[in-house]
Amino acid sequence: MTRLLLVELSRFRTRRSIALLVLGTVLAAALVAGLTAYQTRPLTQDERVDAQAQVDLAGRDPQVRAEVRACREAPTDYLGPEAEPADCTSALLPAADSFYPREAMDPAVVREGRGVQVGLLVAGLLIVAGSTFAGGDWGSGSMATQLLFEGRRRRVWLAKAGAVVLGCAATALVALAAFWAVLLLVARARGVEVSGGELSDVALQVGRGVALSAAAGLGAFALTMVFRHTVATLALLFVYAVGGEVAVSLLPVDGAGRWAVGTNAVGWLRTDHTYDDPSATCSLLGRCSQLQVLTHTEAVLFLGALLALACVVSLAWFSRRDM
């Protein structure tokens, strides 16, 4: 079995289309890292001066000045029982940072934003890799030849699946590690402090991203072993991802948004995922709470059940179906 797995790993590594996808995945992650670094670059002196000028301009507005004067005369009416007249200016006038054209780099914000996006991007590209790996064997007719040398179909399926999982996991690890290495180096160069707890959260997200990518590649491989065509698999996944999200949102079922694949994928990558679910039931007071919380356990159970179903069906189908 080990020898067969090594053969399939070599096949995965040397296939040109997969090599291009792997390279594209790493480059895409690096590109997103560079874009993130650029969009969070430090402010120039001119931008700070311009922001302060906008604050001064807002302070000259007659209506705003009237509000400040009224607040100083009765600060408790405006700002609460412990307010002082001196608090009115800072409370009613915008601060300079509200006019800044961009936010400074914050690793926690990046992790919950771009970190999740790049994790989904990597998983999406590796879906294509997993499907291409199986589809190439069926399209070239080499699957029948391979079964002449190894007639036990389950061993062949498991070896190929193992190669996909290892290949996708290694690619995702390199891509996500490169993404965060670039950003952490940029943060250090800018003097942004990154705590040990934040580094631990980043490492955990990278691990979850690697697991998601490996599972996504395996799921695509399993489906392609059933359909025997890459395009059919990718079309099905596209329809399921897009049409399924719409269908779930229209279902007259309480909490139907919980069963959307996209919601669960994001919930798996984010530290704390809160999503909007229009199908959520109203409380007894008649106030609808559409914001729902999705834990990592709930997300992985749902995604794992879908993956297990695809693998069981694929293995059974491949074991019995004629070539």
Query: Is 70 in the same domain as 154?
Result: no
DSSP one-letter string for 143-191: HHHHHHH---HHHHHHHHHHHHHHHHHHHHHHHHHHHHHHHHHHHHHTT
Is 19 found in the same domain as 61? Answer: no
Supply the pTM of this predicted model: 0.83
Domain boundary among 76, 99, 122: 99
For position 219, what pLDDT does the model report?
94
Same domain, 60 and 175: no
C-alpha span between 57 and 66 (Å, rounded): 15
- 86 and 119 share one domain: no
User: What are the tokens at 315?
Assistant: 């293995």
Q: What is the SS3 assignment for 80-104?
A: CCCCCCCHHHHHHCCCHHHHCCCCC
Crossing angle of the two packed helices 230-250 and 261-269, in degrees rounded to 10: 90
Q: Are 126 and 234 in contact (CB under 8 A)?
A: no
**In a shared domain, residues 92 and 112:** no
Q: Please state the φ and ψ torsions of residue 275, each to the nearest 5 degrees.
A: -130, 160
User: Domain check: are 93 and 22 in the same one?
Assistant: no
- In DSSP terms, 273 is beta-bridged to 294
Q: Count the domains in the chain.
A: 2
Q: Are residues 35 and 62 in the same domain?
A: no
Q: Long-range CB contacts (< 8 A, 24+ apart) of 250-257?
A: 251/279, 252/279, 253/279, 254/279, 254/280, 254/281, 255/279, 255/280, 255/281, 255/292, 257/292
Distance CA 249, CA 244 (A): 8
* Same domain, residue pair 135 and 17: yes
Phi and psi based region of residue 228 (left: phi greater than 0; alpha: psi -120 to 50; beta: remaining): left
Where among 62, 82, 99 does a domain terminate? 99
**Tens digit of pLDDT at every position of the chain (323 positions):** 778 888 888 888 888 999 999 999 999 999 999 999 999 888 888 888 888 888 888 778 888 888 888 888 888 877 888 788 888 877 777 777 778 888 888 898 999 999 999 999 999 999 999 999 988 877 777 777 776 676 678 888 999 999 999 999 999 999 999 999 999 999 999 888 888 889 999 999 999 999 999 999 999 999 999 888 888 888 888 887 776 666 666 666 656 667 788 889 999 999 888 877 665 555 444 445 567 788 889 899 999 999 999 999 999 888 876 65
Please give the structure tokens belonging to residue 259: 């069963």
CB-CB neighbours of 113 under 10 Å = 13
Residues 252 and 293 in one domain: yes
Q: Are residues 84 and 204 in the same domain?
A: no
The token duo for 15 is 């296939």
CA torsion angle 153 156 162 168 (round to 10):
-110
**pLDDT value for 247:** 64
Q: Are residues 187 and 70 in the same domain?
A: no
Q: Are residues 240 and 205 in the same domain?
A: yes
Q: Residue 87 sits in which domain range?
A: 45-99
